[in-house]
Structure 1
């Protein structure tokens, strides 16, 4: 579904991504792990069209999409849940969800999808008229995921969905991510909770200093000594 070849993204003269190549097969969950500053968010923003790569290619469903704007990529079937959630604070839960479907015009199906989001995230139904900015971090994360799903993406990008959340909320978020995938949405996820994400992922990549240094089946990475030493030992970051 997603194929990235020799991708290079710069911040000014600083090369943040150094020839990244990876694949996200249709129907799978692929995880991206690495220390802070490794380039994970830069890669997600580049794939989502927020940043423009200097070289390399991004192919989505057989079509080269590097350099496309974010709204164009939404039409191509891609949605990003950004790091830090970035819900529309002065708007209600319902308004956030409706804006997630802003490129759609199938009003009846939009309403059905809103009800589906309420089934996945019951707290959103309870808070339907609440301003998003007054919700807890976990509730905002659920809203951010639901808002992205309202565009009916084929590929969902999740950037640090568990950051700053209580363990019980994290568990709920990961259950929904797995359910989203089981219902047909392909997922590329950046996550600090390495153990949890590798348990639900099919495949994983490890980034260090803008380069992929390790890749493999998620279960193999979970038991890889290098991964265990760097991300599953005493260190908290991922």
Structure 2
């Protein structure tokens, strides 16, 4: 019972926030109707013609009643269906961002485990890590990293190519919901659009600039993963890797 009341109160609060001007006008016209009805028995001031005054008051009341009817029509026909659709879209957007978060995490973890360098990216990728990535043959390390999953044995590079493909598909899916996103979600989407490595992971395996692009874009991939957690307001699981074999000074 309490949860139902809380849900209704939350919806009313949201409605008022989105339609405060409509609500204030509704209160005003209601006050006008009450004022006119209570003042009918009062004498006309300043010697005005009673019939004329009553005529204009009747017109005013009819306009106020018309506004009330229009408001009810707006709530039932316009606002409520739009709100219902927006809630469904918001759920869909959160699902897509959740899947994006999973793929971004997988992409990032495969990189850090393959290159085997110390990193704590809870506050972003340190510049020294990006510099170290640029000196490594990342694709050779990814190919050498064996992955065992339910579909059999493969390597980290194959998984990253698959992750990149799915990230692209999720980005395309988000395009349909841009009008419903809040500021943080739009910023995250814009940041994802600025990461070019995903579109290039499946192209020309030995293309030299791709390694440089991967090294430079990795910091933005991690940032996008962290932002995904903020947008979804989930528990924070930073990208961390510790090893005694290699370290970054």
Q: TM-score range by the shorter chain?
A: under 0.3
Q: Which one has a larger percent strand, Structure 1 or Structure 2?
A: 1
Per the normalisation by structure 1, the TM-score is 0.26
Per the normalisation by structure 2, the TM-score is 0.25
Q: Which one has a larger percent helix, Structure 1 or Structure 2?
A: 2
* Larger radius of gyration between Structure 1 and Structure 2: 2
